């Protein structure tokens, strides 16, 4: 059982560490010191739902709804492009950080934005639900729950680490030149992810 737990933790960690829209958003909220705990908790619980759902049959349900993939793909790409545009505008505005610090985003809006990054991304379902679920179910009988628990622990560890890590480093990270570089990087990442989503759907890998 311990081996299954460790294997799940390793797989979950390897999947979640990749730079993505969700991670970039969590880091940004950490630097802003804005609703850090709730954002980290939301991302972690969302991952847990997807991981356990994939382990116990959600992947089969998703595969029976082919119309859901294009809807999420193009909807997610549009949202990513919108967020990339906002990040680019912030990067080009010298006073963006000071202005944002005075008007902190409400918890509701922050959670809605985080939900879009989390649930409107088709890759989340492919990686977390189908891939993790498939590997979990390929393990010997009785190891599914420990494997899913390990993957879940990896998500909780990662999100709280990057959220509170960014919060702890908000002093040096809040310097205008550094902050503008962060927002410029976020804009590039979001744009690249949007393009990758659409191209992956139009030209699927054989």
Contact yes or no for 124/50 (Cβ under 8 A): yes
Buried b (16+ CB within 10 A) or exposed e, 136-174: bbebeeebbbbbbbbbbbbbbebbbebbeebbeeeeebb
Nearest-CA neighbor of 7 among 140, 126, 122? 140
For residue 101, pLDDT over 60 is answered with no
Residue that wins the pLDDT comparison between 81 and 104: 81
What does the pLDDT read at residue 53? 87
C-alpha 53/C-alpha 45 separation (Å) is 12
Polymer length in residues for the chain: 206
Q: Is the pTM of this model over 0.85?
A: no
- What is the maximum span of the chain, computed from C-alpha positions, in angstroms? 57
Averaged over 32-57, what is the pLDDT? 91
Other CB atoms within a 10 A radius of the CB of residue 22 amount to 20
């Amino acid at each position: 059982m311990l081996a299954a737990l460790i294997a799940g933790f390793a797989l979950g960690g390897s999947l979640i560490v990749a730079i993505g829209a969700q991670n970039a958003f969590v880091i940004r909220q950490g630097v802003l010191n804005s609703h850090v705990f709730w954002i980290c908790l939301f991302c972690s619980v969302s991952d847990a739902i997807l991981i356990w759902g994939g382990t116990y049959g959600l992947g089969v349900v998703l595969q029976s709804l082919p119309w859901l993939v294009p809807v999420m793909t193009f909807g997610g790409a549009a949202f990513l492009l919108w967020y990339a545009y906002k990040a680019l505008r912030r990067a080009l505005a010298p006073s963006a950080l000071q202005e944002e610090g005075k008007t902190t985003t409400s918890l509701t809006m922050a959670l809605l934005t985080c939900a879009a990054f989390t649930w409107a991304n088709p890759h989340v379902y492919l990686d977390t639900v189908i891939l993790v679920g498939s590997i979990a179910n390929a393990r010997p009988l009785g190891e599914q729950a420990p494997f899913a628990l390990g993957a879940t622990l990896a998500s909780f560890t990662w999100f709280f680490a990057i959220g509170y890590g960014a919060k702890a480093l908000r002093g040096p990270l809040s310097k205008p030149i550094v902050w503008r570089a962060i927002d410029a990087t976020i804009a590039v990442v979001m744009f690249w992810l949007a393009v990758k989503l659409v191209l992956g759907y139009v030209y699927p890998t054989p």
